Amino acid sequence: MSNALNLQGLFMSEQQVDLLIIGAGPAGASAACLLQQAGFKTLIVEKEQFPRFVIGESLLPHCMDLLDEAGLLEVVQQQNYIIKHGAEFFRGGRQFAFDFSQQFTEGWRYTYQVPRDHFDQTLAQATEAKGIPILWRHAVTQVDFAQDGSPKTTIEDEAGNRSIIHARFILDGSGYGRVLPRLLNLDAPSHLPARTALFTHVTGDIRPQGEREGNIWICMLDDAENGWMWIIPFANGKTSVGVVAKAEFLAQFPKDPDERLKALIGSTPAPKKRLAEAEFSFAARQIEGYSISAKQLAGPGYALMGNATEFLDPVFSSGVTLALESANRAAKMAIRQLKGESPDWNREYAEHLMLGVDTFRAFVNAWYDNRFPTLIFSEAKQQSIQNQICSVLAGYVWDKANPCVNQPERMIELLYKNCTASHPATAVSG
Ligand SMILES: Cc1cc2nc3c(=O)[nH]c(=O)nc-3n(C[C@H](O)[C@H](O)[C@H](O)COP(=O)(O)OP(=O)(O)OC[C@H]3O[C@@H](n4cnc5c(N)ncnc54)[C@H](O)[C@@H]3O)c2cc1C
């Protein structure tokens, strides 16, 4: 099963590969590398030409394990991205830092903050260097499944020229494009209320010195339910700054996106100080309605990965971790299937993935209803509990030995009750 594919020939005739991947983002690139390691002929079809902008710039330590397995860690380590040692939370004048060196789960103690245009291009170039073809500026427009589940995919270039790819299996890593969920009517609404994100990159960020320079800052606006702000520093001197909030809350700020973001920065104590001299590198961009779910994650001949599955909320920077974990698992399942096994996609893929998603979901819910902020700013928490929470924030959300993974909702409730009973003043109104 050679990976040599005649790209020229694609325009002339229908072609056959073992596996077709939609999208060259972190999910698509890492899945392709694992399939290639197993010797399968894989093709990635990518709508854009990289580098392209995408939001989602703060990795979690578990990403390092997954990049390593895909053979992509070394190239990432060579890029000199700024090191992220932890996550720091701010409420008014108060601050609490999680340090990834103090965790329940054995694993990576740091990761990186990455400008995604550069990071995704780095992964894609490394993928191509392994001999995996990426068909740039081609969009998947249609997928038809034969009786045996094998997909016949129509792709279209920018001039509207169409070609057909026959594959034995298709993995959808199309992110917000959600190609198969749209074509197969798999989209399901998120249970989270719709929120808006407003963001830019800035220069002139006055950063903390030393090891904490690369930490993410997550700053509550007036209270967590209304929204929060991220500050993610890069090695290139720029810093990503964004706000996530309900549209009703944002409506009280100026309508113009730049003015709105500036007003939000000015009204939040820690960012106000840190970003006092900041200048926007591009006009603030606004996106909304990004939280979405899927009715099923796999079916005959296909599986969804990354943001094409479910996207929760960015507060704990879980997106790329979930993209890489789902790609890792989906690629391994697809390899078994291509070798003639009949893996149970529901049990071994969807249920596995949902364990991690549901852990993050419990923590996201607890962030917005103010239990999580109450907990972390409480004097009553113990170091052992802090370490368990830290491993969730590091992306180790499949470690069932961690009580905060095994029973996240129960743990959050228990911890919240303990800390509000011993220190009632720490509770904030939700
Ligand atoms: C406001 C906000 C902040 C976020 N912050 C973070 C963060 O700090 N950390 C984090 O880990 N995550 C974050 N995320 C989530 C993160 O953006 C995504 O989870 C991540 O990019 C998913 O990777 P992916 O590989 O699934 O998809 P993507 O990276 O979106 O890649 C999908 C690719 O598919 C291509 N494509 C789409 N349609 C087609 C088509 N029809 N044919 C061919 N190709 C197609 C696209 O061009 C794209 O290149 C954030 C999200 C939001 C909304």
Tens of pLDDT, residue by residue over 56-97, are: 999 999 999 999 999 999 999 999 999 999 999 999 889 999
Question: Ligand 1, from 20, 46, 243, 357: best to mutate by most atoms within 8 Å of Cβ?
Answer: 46
pLDDT at 93: 86
47, 60, 64, 180: which to mutate for ligand 1, most atoms within 8 A of CB? 47
Q: Hey, whose CA ends up nearest to atom 4 of ligand 1?
A: 56
Atom of ligand 1 nearest to the CA of 308: 26
- Report the alpha-carbon distance of residue 165 to residue 171 in Å, rounded: 13
Residue of 114, 172, 176, 287 best suited for mutating to test ligand 1, as the one with most atoms within 8 Å of CB: 176
Instruction: Give residue 247 CA to ligand 1 midpoint distance, Å.
Output: 22
Q: Which atom of ligand 1 is nearest to the CA of 244?
A: 1
Give the separation between CA 321 and CA 307, rounded to whole angstroms: 11
Give the pLDDT confidence score for residue 4 in this predicted structure: 41
Say how far apart CA 244 and CA 232 lie, in whole Å: 14
Residue nearest to atom 30 of ligand 1 (CA): 175
Q: What is the pLDDT of residue 420?
A: 84
Q: How far is the CA of 329 from the centre of ligand 1 (A)?
A: 18
Ligand 1: which of 142, 307, 311 to mutate, most ligand atoms within 8 Å of CB? Answer: 307
Closest residue by Cα to residue 71 from 335, 337, 324:
324
| CA 13/CA 8 separation, integer angstroms | 9
What does the alpha-carbon distance between residue 388 and residue 385 come to, in Å, rounded to a whole number? 5
CATH 3.50.50.60 applies to domain 62-114+192-288: yes
Specify the 3-state DSSP secondary structure of 82: strand
- Give residues (CB < 6 A) around ligand 1: 22-28, 45-48, 54-58, 139-140, 173-177, 179, 197, 242, 287, 290, 306-307, 311, 314, 317, 319-321, 323
CA of 283 to the centre of ligand 1 (A): 20
Dihedral sign, Cα of residue 46, residue 51, residue 55, residue 61: positive
* Ligand 1 atom closest to 321 (CA): 11
Q: What is the rounded CA–CA span in Å between residue 158 and residue 165?
A: 17
- Give the Cα separation of 375 and 415 in Å (integer): 7
Task: In whole angstroms, give the CA distance from residue 226 to residue 253.
Answer: 13
How many Å apart are CA 19 and CA 192, to the nearest integer?
34
The CATH-assigned architecture of domain 7-54+117-189+291-353 is 3-Layer(bba) Sandwich (3.50)
Where the chain has pLDDT below 50, the residues are: 1-6, 8-12, 428-430
For 179, counting Cβ atoms within 10 Å of its Cβ (0-12 exposed, 13-18 middle, 19+ buried), the class is buried
| Sequence ranges of the domains in the chain | 7-54+117-189+291-353, 62-114+192-288, 370-426
The pLDDT, as a whole number, for residue 192 is 86
- Kindly give the distance from the C-alpha atom of residue 120 to the centroid of ligand 1, in angstroms, as a whole number: 10
Give the distance (Å) from ligand 1 centre to CA of residue 178: 10
Distance CA 264, CA 252 (A): 10
Count Cα atoms within 13 angstroms, Cβ side, for 182.
12
Are domains 7-54+117-189+291-353 and 62-114+192-288 of this chain identical in fold? yes
pLDDT tens sequence across 190-223:
888 889 999 999 999 999 999 999 999 999 998 7
Query: Which pLDDT belongs to residue 380?
Result: 77
Q: Ligand 1 pocket test: pick from 48, 55, 230 the residue with the most ligand atoms within 8 Å of its Cβ.
A: 55
Instruction: Quote the strand ranges of 295-395, DSSP E.
Output: 298-299, 302-304
Query: What is the number of the ligand 1 atom nearest to the C-alpha of 216?
Result: 8
89 beta partners: 96, 218
CA 9–ligand 1 middle distance (angstroms): 30
